[in-house]
């Protein structure tokens, strides 16, 4: 339902610059917004698309608004301290999230008689709850999800459709596990004996701490002796691989297709872009960041930003990248210098022969 910009500004605690009586009915990106849409600007990098935007109103900061207006824009602005946060509040006003679909405990779910369910749980059809499972209050187990024997899940957790939680896994409170994720499978551990690979038993488990989110099709392997641990508040994107015995710190964020080999450790607040690969037994310090496709093959210090294969300091990586781009030019220069050197050698040889002939004639 359309509302005035003034009304929206009151909802998000913002100050209006311009005509606040214009009606808006939805949010949109700067590039796609129309006159009845609200968008947001929170970086100078977005100034160009913001100036070209047809949005009815743009949420931004007082500082950015000065430059925005200095460049001649007449768009209505809503001034706030945190534009993205205010935009999300506006988005949820126009697009309120649907309430949780309550189904109770379906008669078509398999729940072992020894399982203990907390209050207010929803167990969807075809879910499988094994022996001695303990669910906290207000948990949601999606259709086809498998919770194997001796698993413990805390309060307010959501296990989406077809996710598999293997035996003995421990999941704390407010954890979200997306569809088709697998937590607690055996690690990739074998001994090579008499020409064949022999499986190494994995008797450890996985501990997923509070407020972790595990993306779709992500896999977290159990430890061989001790537990693989995913620290509090960590967010794993889709298709992430965490191998056995890894110890992931608090509030890490790994983008899609990140892969950590066995027995890696990370400190708190580590961030990895898509497709970063980490070799086994690598230790990564707190606050470290890795650009996409980085290859981490040795221990990394705290707080740095790294790129490349192998991952090195960001500035060094950029310098190397530009140097590589100059290789064809350097190759041509070396070829030209080699030809010139060959000519000089030939001239010197001719000059030496001439001098020797002159000396013989004089004798």
Instruction: Please give the share of the chain, as a percent, with pLDDT higher than 70.
Output: 98
pLDDT digits (tens, 9 = 90+) for 229-285: 999 999 999 999 999 999 999 999 999 999 999 999 999 999 999 999 999 999 999
CA atoms of 286 and 74, how far apart (whole Å): 45
Confidence of residue 80 (pLDDT cuts 50, 70, 90): very high
C-beta of residue 266 within 8 angstroms of C-beta of residue 254 = no
Instruction: Indicate if the pLDDT at residue 73 is higher than 80.
Output: no
pLDDT digits (tens, 9 = 90+) for 9-38: 999 999 999 999 999 999 999 999 999 999
Q: Which of 178, 202, 244, 307 is catalytic?
A: 244
Out of 115-129, 282-296, 300-314, which region has the weakest mean confidence (pLDDT)? 300-314
- For the chain, what is the HEC assignment? CCEEHHHHHHHCCCEEECCCCCEECEECCCCCCCCCEEEECCCHHHHHHHHCCCCCEEEECHHHHHHHHHCCCCCEEEECCCHHHHHHHHHHHHCCCCCCCCCCECCCCEECCCCECCCCCEECCCCEECCCCEECCCCEECCCCEECCCCEECCCCEECCCCEECCCCEECCCCEECCCCEEEECCCCEEEECCEEEECCCCCCEEECCCCEECCCCEEECCCCCCEEECCCCEECCCCEECCCCEECCCCEECCCCEECCCCEECCCCEECCCCEECCCCEECCCCEECCCCEECCCECCCCEEECCCCEEHHHHHHHHHHHHCHHHHHHHHHHHHHHHHHHHHHHHHHHHHHHHHHHHHC
Q: Name the nearest CA neighbour of 207 among 168, 174, 157, 263.
A: 168
- CA-based angle 209:211:216, to the nearest 5? 95
Q: What is the pTM of this model?
A: 0.84
Instruction: Indicate if the pLDDT at residue 46 is higher than 80.
Output: yes
Please compute the mean of the pLDDT values over residues 91-100 and round it to a whole number.
90
Beta-bridged to residue 3, according to DSSP, are 24
Which pairing describes strands 312-313 and 305-307: parallel, antiparallel, or unpaired? Answer: antiparallel
Confidence of residue 333 (pLDDT cuts 50, 70, 90): confident
CA atoms of 221 and 6, how far apart (whole Å): 52
pLDDT digits (tens, 9 = 90+) for 106-161: 999 999 999 999 999 999 999 999 999 999 999 999 999 999 999 999 999 999 99
Confidence of residue 71 (pLDDT cuts 50, 70, 90): confident
For the record, the structure tokens of 9 come out as 């500004």
Q: Is the dihedral of CA 179, 180, 186, 188 positive or negative?
A: negative
Question: Tokens 């080699």 label which residue?
Answer: 338
For the chain, the distance separating the N- and C-terminal CA atoms, rounded to the nearest angstrom, is 112
226 is catalytic: no
Instruction: Indicate if the pLDDT at residue 362 is higher than 70.
Output: no
Q: What's the pLDDT score for residue 196? A: 95
C-beta of residue 169 within 8 angstroms of C-beta of residue 151 = yes
């Amino acid at each position: 339902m359309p509302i005035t910009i003034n009304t929206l500004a009151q909802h998000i605690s913002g100050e209006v610059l311009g005509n606040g009586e214009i009606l808006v009915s939805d949010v949109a990106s700067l590039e796609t917004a129309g006159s009845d849409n609200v968008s947001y600007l929170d970086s100078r990098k977005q100034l160009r698309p913001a100036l070209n935007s047809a949005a009815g109103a743009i949420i931004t900061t007082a500082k950015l608004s000065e430059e925005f207006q200095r460049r001649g824009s007449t768009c209505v602005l809503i001034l706030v301290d945190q534009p993205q946060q205010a935009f999300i509040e506006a988005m949820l006003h126009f697009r309120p999230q649907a309430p949780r679909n309550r189904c109770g405990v379906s008669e078509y779910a398999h729940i072992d008689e020894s399982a203990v369910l907390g209050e207010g749980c929803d167990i969807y059809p075809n879910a499988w709850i094994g022996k001695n499972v303990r669910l906290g209050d207000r948990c949601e187990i999606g259709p086809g999800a498998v919770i194997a024997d001796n698993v413990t899940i805390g309060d307010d957790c959501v296990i989406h459709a077809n996710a598999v939680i293997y035996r003995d896994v421990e999941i704390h409170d407010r954890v979200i596990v997306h569809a088709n994720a697998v937590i607690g499978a055996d690690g990739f551990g074998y001994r090579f004996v008499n020409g064949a690979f022999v499986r190494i038993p994995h008797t450890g488990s996985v501990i997923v701490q509070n407020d972790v989110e595990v993306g779709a099709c992500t896999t977290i392997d159990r430890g061989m002796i001790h537990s693989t641990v995913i620290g509090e508040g960590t967010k794993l994107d889709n298709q992430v691989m965490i191998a056995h015995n890894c110890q992931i710190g608090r509030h890490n964020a790994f983008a899609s297709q990140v892969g950590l080999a066995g027995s890696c450790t990370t400190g708190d607040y580590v961030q990895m872009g898509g497709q970063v690969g980490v070799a086994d037994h690598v230790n990564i310090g707190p606050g470290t960041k890795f650009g996409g496709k980085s290859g981490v093959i040795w221990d990394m210090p705290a707080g740095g930003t790294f790129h490349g294969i192998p991952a090195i300091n960001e500035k060094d990586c950029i310098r190397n990248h530009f140097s590589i781009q100059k290789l064809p030019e350097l190759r041509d220069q070396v070829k030209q210098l080699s030809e010139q050197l060959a000519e000089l050698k030939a001239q010197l040889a001719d000059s030496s022969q001439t001098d020797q002939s002159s000396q013989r004639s004089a004798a």
